[in-house]
Amino acid sequence: MKWVKMLLVSKVGLIGVIIIILFTFTAIFAPLIVPHDPTEVNLGKSSLPPIWLDGGESTYLLGTDNLGRDVFSRIIYGSQISMLVGVCSVLVAGLIGIPVGLISGYYGGLVDSLLMRIVDSQIAIPSILLALVILGFMNPTLLTIIFVIGVSSWIAYARVVRSEVLSLKEREYVKAAKTMGVRHSFIMTRHLLPNVFSSIIVISTINVATSIITESSLSFLGLGPQSISWGSILSEGRDYLATNWWVATFPGIAITVTVLGIILFGDWLRDVLDPRTEV
Amino acid sequence: MTYIIRRLFQVIPVLIIVSFLVFLFVYLSGDPVALMLPEDASQAEIENMRKVLGLDKPFIVQYGIFLLNAVNGDFGQSFIYKQEALGIVLERLPATFELMIASIIVSTIIAIPLGVWSAIRRNTFVDLFISSSSILGKAMPNFWLGMMLVLLFSVTLQLLPVSGKGTIYHLILPAITAGTAMAAQLTRMLRSHMIEVLSQDYIRTARSKGLGSFVIIFKHALRNSMLPVITIIALQISTLVGGALITETVFSWPGLGQLIIQAIHARDMAVVQACVLVIAVFVIVVNLLADLLYRVVDPRIKYN
Amino acid sequence: MSKLLQINNLKTVFYTEEGQVPSVDNVSLDIKKGETVAIVGESGSGKSVTALSILGLVPSPGRVVTGEILYEGKDLLKMTDKEIKKIRGNEISMIFQEPLSALNPVLTVGKQIQESIELHQKKKGKRAKEKVIQLLNRVGIPRPEKVYYSYPHTLSGGMRQRVMIAMALSCRPKLIIADEPTTALDVTTQAQILNLMKSLSEEEGTTILIITHDLGVVAEMADRVVVMYAGQVVEQSTVYDLFEKPEHPYTKGLLDCTPKIHGESEELLAIEGTVPTIQNRPTGCKFHPRCKFTHEKCKEKDPELFTIKEKQKVRCYLHEKVIEERLK
């Protein structure tokens, strides 16, 4: 209840949550929403403009592409990939980054220097480039894409968790647990992890947004999952920009609005949870 | 001076790890021989090629050879271009470099006035407008922004060229496309930092001297905000390179982005390796330079 | 002596979420040419805000709402932005409490002083630099040519405050407002800085308004004293009268708090209670909850500032009777 109240006070957070709910809803109920089969080719209806322009047809809300496929239906289906990749790749990133940060911060010394050099070297390679290169030798399927985006974005977790652990481990209760001979793994998971939780939540939110953009970029470059995604619709629309501008325009708006909602929600979370470190 | 040397030594392990990663990708990508020989090549020819390329040796030895060659600038031949891979990469580097410099300039030109303006007019309509625009700038995928700019300025208004490289007009849209995300980030950061700086005692001192607001903001306040600006540019350089690579494909800009995507699709691994290493070295060098620039901007920073 | 600065019924209000908060409440005082006046009070008394109001430097959300501040007969509050900028740093300059934070960390000391000179005296380049080095010399900074190129953080606290003084003196102002100039310094440096200010003001004939909570500084520097409490002037007198015959119970309390070397009592007294926060000021006399002599009237109505002698005014009902009796 407290959270709901806090949300209602912040307009920005509320807008974010509404967008996220709409997005989730769309992804889950896509088959029920779409007016047309998104893959159905209908050359008789090709290159129809959006409904409000001359020549638009009532069931094709956002027009059709050069093969007569309904842009609106394709965008609705595209949300599934964005949602899936966005959320799952963040889980992968967290599963790598959080343990690295915990171990690095807790043990320090040589382990820490080694892990941090790995982090440094991954920073030196732009994450989209890393993803591209890995995808170069792995078949771009949904699973590999999730894995690749996760692998190229775990650094934020590792850095923030590490820096928080560094200060947490100086606290009395952690020191006391150490002197009492509590197992290291227990200290890390029961004492340290819960205390970095709010930072993890904030990073995860932002990471979902970045992952959605990364996925759409990969799809745009032709290295996405071989199903309908916002990036691939956009990429197909690119060649028809001069004639069928709507094909490339609307999926971009869908990405922007979704990412915007997640960023707004993330900003609000940061204010509410107030973790000390900014990513 | 000792700091610079120490910093350079820290770079070495990073470079070794990067090179290892790059090697690993290629190792995992499978046998390149099949791609390099005609389809009807005999088993003996394949074996021979493997030997020539050193692919019959153990993993760690192969890495050693790769590293040794890389240090000497030898990444092998590109089988598409039939040339030294590094040579091709270095040939394309200036174009990417030009695009990046232009986008950094564009983003600072946008971010500094906007960040300052929304800081001095904080909690007004202007501030709200600038702040929301900067969140929007962060949310837009750059390749889409690029296409929309083409749609507006090239297709509809016919003011600027659609793609390619040549005149300064060719540079405008790509630079905006690649620079917008960083401009958004910079604006947000500059705003919050300027708000903090403007409440400092030395700003009051400057006012008590009778200085005008222009001098106070641009000489006294902004100089104190330059440190975070440089930090953000340095931290974002990696993202900026990534953005530039995608931007290049949107505008057919003849730089590294086009080259590497072609190479990945064709599995031209020598070029991929050279490309990734060159970019990594570039990012590391920029971060190093930023580190040194801190001292110039903020005299309080001592390296010890 | 003619009046250089005259503040009449100054009221400076802070607009906070809890409503309007008067930080300075109907303050009047005047400063004659060449004298040194001290405003004394605890933190929260409104003394610093009074000082900042003079040059229009009150930070937002604060604002001067009523009153006038006459400088050589002209009201500073009615001046345009351009006119007041010509006064700031030129005719009236300020010295602030914490020189480390009051100096810009990323500009050299020399540049920061030179800025005023270039702005107000139309001296540029080499001539301005010469003037800065002269000034640095004047305020007792050794090797001024070197210090010119130093950044504030490389100097000691005393040196920084000397730089602030050089900056304040740079355009030979008629009035220097020093807001707690020695609070951030150690005791020996304090004495040096006070001596410097004193000798410089004597040489130049500069008028000084010094804001302090330290009665030691008052005794050392001031000709006349204004005591402030909770945004109001509670007593005004010459420095001699203040220490010999303090009349307001608050002033008496303040003096009792200062340790005396030859005091009869070893005990260090303190005024009971604390300064009311700006939001919770009591009705009537602002000091009555802490006063030993409180009676009914004090709780109801704020006393006015009674003139009990030519140069002494007191805001206390105890003196109302004295005056009434004298009138009879």
Q: Which residues contact residue B222 at a Cβ distance below 8 angstroms, ignoring those fewer than 6 apart?
A: B112, B116, B194
- CA nearest B264 in A: which residue? A136
Compute chain B's Rg from CA coordinates: 24
- Average pLDDT (B233-242) is 88
C79 and chain B: CB distance < 8 Å anywhere?
no
**Chains C and A are touching, with contact defined as 3 or more CB–CB pairs separated by less than 8 Å:** no
Using left for φ > 0, alpha for ψ between -120 and 50, and beta otherwise, residue A222 falls in left
Buried b (16+ CB within 10 A) or exposed e, A5-17: eebeebebbbebb
Q: Which residues contact residue C140 at a Cβ distance below 8 angstroms, ignoring those fewer than 6 apart?
A: C162, C192, C196
Alpha carbon of A160: minimum distance to chain B alpha carbons (Å): 15
- CA nearest A12 in B: which residue? B132
From the list B14, B26, B265, which residue is nearest A124 (CB)? B14
Whether residue A242 has pLDDT greater than 70: yes
Q: Determine the residue among C96, C104, C180 to mutate to test chain B binding: the one whose Cβ has the most chain B Cβ atoms within 10 Å.
A: C104
Alpha helices for C78-214 (secondary structure H) = 81-87, 99-102, 109-120, 125-138, 144-147, 157-169, 187-204
Q: Which of C172, C202, C222 is the last residue of a domain?
A: C172
Q: Determine the residue among B208, B224, B225, B226 to mutate to test chain C binding: the one whose Cβ has the most chain C Cβ atoms within 10 Å.
A: B208
Question: Which residues of chain B make contact with C55, given a CB cutoff of 8 A?
Answer: 207-208
Determine the structural domain holding residue A209 and report its residue range: 50-277
Q: Which residue has the higher pLDDT, C221 or C261?
A: C221
pLDDT at res. C322? 65
In a domain, A43, yes or no: no
Q: Which residue has the higher pLDDT, A95 or C185?
A: A95
Q: Which of C172, C194, C226 is the last residue of a domain?
A: C172
Q: Do C55 and C76 lie in a common domain?
A: yes
User: Using DSSP, how many helices (H) and how many strands (E) does chain A show?
Assistant: 13, 0
C109 and chain B: CB distance < 8 Å anywhere?
no
pLDDT at res. A279? 38
Q: Do C57 and C178 lie in a common domain?
A: yes
The ipTM is: 0.89
Using a CB–CB cut-off of 8 Å, the residues of B that contact C are 199-202, 204-212, 215, 219-220, 223-224, 297-300
- Average pLDDT (B176-193) is 92
Q: Do C119 and C132 lie in a common domain?
A: yes
Q: Do C106 and C86 lie in a common domain?
A: no
Q: Quick check: helix, strand or coil at residue A70?
A: strand
pLDDT in tens, B126-135: 999 999 999 9
- Average pLDDT (C245-262) is 76
- Average pLDDT (A115-135) is 90
- Average pLDDT (A219-223) is 89
Using left for φ > 0, alpha for ψ between -120 and 50, and beta otherwise, residue C89 falls in left
pLDDT at res. A98? 94
Whether residue A119 has pLDDT greater than 70: yes
Number of domains in chain C: 2
From the list A117, A129, A223, which residue is nearest B14 (CB)? A117
CATH topology for the B87-297 domain: MetI-like fold (1.10.3720)
Alpha carbon of B106: minimum distance to chain C alpha carbons (Å): 26
pLDDT at res. C261? 55
- Asked if A136 lies within 8 A of B15 by C-beta distance, the reply is no
Compute chain A's Rg from CA coordinates: 22
Q: Do C130 and C217 lie in a common domain?
A: no
Strand partners, C38: C210, C225
- Asked if B211 lies within 8 A of C167 by C-beta distance, the reply is no
- Asked if B283 lies within 8 A of A133 by C-beta distance, the reply is no
| CATH code for the domain in which residue A184 is found | 1.10.3720.10
Using a CB–CB cut-off of 8 Å, the residues of A that contact B are 117-118, 120-129, 132-137, 209, 213, 216-217, 220-223, 231, 234, 238, 241-242, 245, 248-249, 251-252, 255-257, 259-260, 263-264, 267
pLDDT in tens, B112-166: 999 999 999 888 899 999 999 999 999 999 999 999 999 999 888 988 888 888 8
Question: Which residues of chain A make contact with B26, given a CB cutoff of 8 A?
Answer: 137
pLDDT at res. C136? 92
Size of interface B-C (CB pairs under 8 A): 78
Question: Which residues of chain B make contact with A213, given a CB cutoff of 8 A?
Answer: 141
Question: Which residues of chain A make contact with B150, given a CB cutoff of 8 A?
Answer: 241
In a domain, A189, yes or no: yes
- Asked if B139 lies within 8 A of A209 by C-beta distance, the reply is yes
In a domain, A79, yes or no: yes
From the list B201, B208, B300, which residue is nearest C89 (CB)? B208
- The pTM for the full model equals 0.83
Number of domains in chain A: 1
pLDDT at res. C247? 81
Round the average pLDDT of chain B to a whole number and report it.
87
Give residue A146's pLDDT band: very low, low, confident or very high (50, 70, 90).
very high
Give residue B184's pLDDT band: very low, low, confident or very high (50, 70, 90).
very high
Backbone angles phi, psi at B53, to 5 degrees: -80, -5
pLDDT at res. A145? 93
Tell me if A230 sits within 8 A of A78, measured CB to CB: yes
- Asked if C106 lies within 8 A of B223 by C-beta distance, the reply is yes
Question: Which residues of chain B make contact with C119, given a CB cutoff of 8 A?
Answer: 209-211
pLDDT at res. C268? 52
- Asked if A124 lies within 8 A of B246 by C-beta distance, the reply is no
Size of interface A-B (CB pairs under 8 A): 135
- Average pLDDT (A127-141) is 86
- Asked if A248 lies within 8 A of B147 by C-beta distance, the reply is yes
pLDDT in tens, A191-220: 888 888 888 998 999 999 999 999 999 999
Give residue C270's pLDDT band: very low, low, confident or very high (50, 70, 90).
low
Alpha carbon of A269: minimum distance to chain B alpha carbons (Å): 15
- Average pLDDT (A64-69) is 86
Q: Do C292 and C193 lie in a common domain?
A: yes
- The CATH 1.10.3720.10 domain(s) of chain B lie at 87-297
Estimate to the nearest angstrom the gap between the alpha carbon of C59 and the chain centroid.
17
Sheet holding C232-238, edge to edge: C92-95, C175-179, C207-212, C36-40, C224-229, C232-238, C312-314, C306-309
Q: Do C86 and C145 lie in a common domain?
A: no
Q: Which residue has the higher pLDDT, B119 or B6?
A: B119
pLDDT at res. A1? 63
- Asked if C96 lies within 8 A of B299 by C-beta distance, the reply is no
Tell me if C206 sits within 8 A of C200, measured CB to CB: yes
Using a pLDDT cut of 70, give the percent of chain C over it.
93
From the list B26, B147, B260, which residue is nearest A241 (CB)? B147
Question: Which residues of chain A make contact with B283, given a CB cutoff of 8 A?
Answer: 123-126
Residue C37 is encoded by which pair of tokens?
């006046």
- Separation of alpha carbons B211 and B203, rounded Å: 10
Whether residue B110 has pLDDT greater than 90: yes
pLDDT in tens, A32-61: 988 888 888 888 888 888 888 887 788 888
- Average pLDDT (C300-317) is 81
From the list B201, B223, B299, which residue is nearest C101 (CB)? B201
- Average pLDDT (C120-129) is 87
- Separation of alpha carbons C182 and C192, rounded Å: 10
Q: Which residues contact residue C195 at a Cβ distance below 8 angstroms, ignoring those fewer than 6 apart?
A: none
Whether residue A6 has pLDDT greater than 80: no
pLDDT at res. A176? 87
Q: Which amino acid is at A1?
A: M
Give residue C267's pLDDT band: very low, low, confident or very high (50, 70, 90).
low
- Asked if A221 lies within 8 A of B18 by C-beta distance, the reply is no
Residue A273 is encoded by which pair of tokens?
């949870």
pLDDT at res. B304? 44
Whether residue C229 has pLDDT greater than 50: yes
pLDDT at res. A277? 42
Question: Which residues of chain C make contact with B207, given a CB cutoff of 8 A?
Answer: 55, 57, 88
| CATH code for the domain in which residue C24 is found | 3.40.50.300
Give residue A253's pLDDT band: very low, low, confident or very high (50, 70, 90).
very high
pLDDT at res. C272? 72
Give residue B111's pLDDT band: very low, low, confident or very high (50, 70, 90).
very high
pLDDT in tens, B24-77: 887 877 666 766 677 777 778 778 877 777 777 788 888 888 888 888 888 888
Question: Which residues of chain C make contact with B209, given a CB cutoff of 8 A?
Answer: 88-89, 93, 115-116, 119, 167
- Average pLDDT (B17-25) is 88
- Separation of alpha carbons C224 and C32, rounded Å: 10
- Asked if A256 lies within 8 A of B283 by C-beta distance, the reply is no
Q: Which of B18-32, B93-107, B169-183, C237-251 has the lowest mean pLDDT?
A: B18-32
Residue A150 is encoded by which pair of tokens?
């996760």
- Asked if B209 lies within 8 A of C86 by C-beta distance, the reply is no
Question: Which residues of chain C make contact with B220, given a CB cutoff of 8 A?
Answer: 104, 107
In a domain, A6, yes or no: no
Using a pLDDT cut of 90, give the percent of chain B over it.
42
C116 and chain B: CB distance < 8 Å anywhere?
yes
- Asked if B239 lies within 8 A of A135 by C-beta distance, the reply is no
Residue B137 is encoded by which pair of tokens?
């700038």
- Average pLDDT (C242-250) is 84
Q: Do C154 and C300 lie in a common domain?
A: no
Q: Which residues contact residue A49 at a Cβ distance below 8 angstroms, ignoring those fewer than 6 apart?
A: A55, A56, A63, A244, A246
Give residue C323's pLDDT band: very low, low, confident or very high (50, 70, 90).
low
In a domain, A20, yes or no: no
Question: Which residues of chain B make contact with A238, given a CB cutoff of 8 A?
Answer: 147, 250
Q: Which chains touch B (3 or more CB pairs under 8 A)?
A: A, C
Determine the structural domain holding residue C312 and report its residue range: 3-91+173-327
Q: Which residues contact residue C26 at a Cβ distance below 8 angstroms, ignoring those fewer than 6 apart?
A: C9, C10, C11, C67, C232
From the list C55, C103, C119, which residue is nearest B202 (CB)? C103
Q: Do C178 and C317 lie in a common domain?
A: yes
Q: Do C187 and C278 lie in a common domain?
A: yes
- Separation of alpha carbons B128 and C187, rounded Å: 49
Residues making up chain A, counted from first to last: 279
Residue A15 is encoded by which pair of tokens?
């807008």
- Asked if A256 lies within 8 A of B260 by C-beta distance, the reply is no
Question: Which residues of chain A make contact with B272, given a CB cutoff of 8 A?
Answer: 133, 136
pLDDT at res. A97? 94
